[in-house]
Amino acid sequence: MFAEERHSTIADLLTAHGRVTVTELAQRFTITPETVRRDLALLEEQGELRRVHGGAVAVDRGSTAETSVPERLATHSEQKQRIAAAAFALLPRTSAASIVLDAGTTTEALAGLIAQRDADAPALLVLTNSIPIAAALSDTPGVALHILGGKVRGVTQAAVGAGTVAELRNVRPDIAFVGTNGIHADFGLSTPDPEEAAVKTAFVQAARRTVVLADASKLDAETLVRFATLEDVDTLVTDGTPSLELAEALSTAEAEVIQA
């Protein structure tokens, strides 16, 4: 494969996944890591990507970059539905339960499945800080909905703030289904906004079990604020295959990985 073809393929991978790693590209093209690094350096000079430790990210994947809910709904939608279906299978089938649904488009897909569940399913208490999720579940039979209060961030339509965090200190839900903007072997789980990070940390600390929902574009990514370590994760549900480094870190943290 000529260098120009490699560069075009790298650009396509960044568009699809938001991130590439040196190891994966070296294996894909059967070339040395040094050649990959030269390719990435050239593409960075051309403004096609931004190099980070171990690989590169798309130029719009800065540590504070966020997209709106409508934009995210149109991205990786099929993968998010598969992740949501796998997460739905983790709900208790024989007894009543309480769960937290974090704000996000993948957790919103999970809420859609909950709204369609059998009428005779066990009672479910749902706590959420997401306006769209609350709307989706507001009249669902068998679901007791509790909306966490706070200041609503327009870009994510999520309630945040000290009041939101304080409410979570007084509950112990069975499962927290949490979204993330990045999950990294060293940095853990992260999100661009400090207030949303504080709420996500409170979700993780409150729940008996933490299930993280993350499509492949979030794997190996780092954003501005860490809200949990890999040791805080009980289960990761993803449509992608974690890199060797991330897979080893998840294994060391004893986190279960479910590939949807």
Domain that holds residue 131: 69-259
Q: Bridge-partner residues for 12, per DSSP? A: none
According to the model, what pLDDT value does residue 77 have? 81
Nearest to 90 by CA among 204, 211, 202, 256: 211
Asked if residue 128 and residue 43 are part of one domain, the reply reads no
Q: Look at 252 and 48; give whichever has higher pLDDT.
A: 252
Asked if residue 77 and residue 41 are part of one domain, the reply reads no
According to the model, what pLDDT value does residue 66 have? 58
- Residue 28 corresponds to which amino acid? R
pLDDT digits (tens, 9 = 90+) for 181-191: 999 999 999 99
The answer on pLDDT for 72 being more than 60 is: no
Which are the contacts of 12, defined by CB distance < 8 A and separation ≥ 6?
Answer: none
Asked if residue 136 and residue 192 are part of one domain, the reply reads yes
Q: If residue 198 lies in a helix (H) or strand (E), which one and from where to where?
A: helix 194-206
Asked if residue 215 and residue 178 are part of one domain, the reply reads yes
In residues, how long is the chain?
Answer: 260
Whole-number Å distance between alpha carbons of 164 and 162: 5
pLDDT digits (tens, 9 = 90+) for 101-142: 999 999 999 999 999 999 899 999 999 999 999 999 999 999
Please provide the average confidence, as pLDDT, over all residues in the chain: 91
Domain boundary among 58, 87, 104: 58
Domain boundary among 58, 77, 103: 58
What is the domain-level CATH number for residue 7?
1.10.10.10
Asked if residue 81 and residue 39 are part of one domain, the reply reads no
Q: Is residue 63 part of a domain?
A: no
Asked if residue 106 and residue 207 are part of one domain, the reply reads yes
Q: If residue 143 lies in a helix (H) or strand (E), which one and from where to where?
A: strand 143-147
Asked if residue 73 and residue 35 are part of one domain, the reply reads no
Q: Is residue 64 part of a domain?
A: no
Asked if residue 54 and residue 77 are part of one domain, the reply reads no
Sheet holding 50-52, edge to edge: 19-21, 55-57, 50-52
Number of structural domains (the chain) is 2
Q: Is residue 207 part of a domain?
A: yes
Contact 156, 103 (CB under 8 A): yes
According to the model, what pLDDT value does residue 110 have? 98
Domain boundary among 18, 37, 58: 58
Asked if residue 162 and residue 47 are part of one domain, the reply reads no
Asked if residue 77 and residue 49 are part of one domain, the reply reads no
Whole-number Å distance between alpha carbons of 228 and 4: 40
- Between 31-35, 46-50, 202-206, 234-238, the lowest mean confidence (pLDDT) is in 46-50
Contact 254, 229 (CB under 8 A): no
Q: Is residue 159 part of a domain?
A: yes
Q: Is residue 100 part of a domain?
A: yes
Contact 110, 101 (CB under 8 A): yes
According to the model, what pLDDT value does residue 76 have? 67
Q: Is residue 205 part of a domain?
A: yes
Q: Bridge-partner residues for 213, per DSSP? A: 179, 237
The answer on pLDDT for 231 being more than 50 is: yes
Asked if residue 86 and residue 44 are part of one domain, the reply reads no
Average pLDDT over residues 87-92: 96
pLDDT digits (tens, 9 = 90+) for 34-68: 999 999 999 988 888 888 878 888 876 555 555 55
Nearest to 219 by CA among 256, 193, 176, 182: 182
What is the domain-level CATH number for residue 143?
3.40.50.1360
Asked if residue 100 and residue 20 are part of one domain, the reply reads no
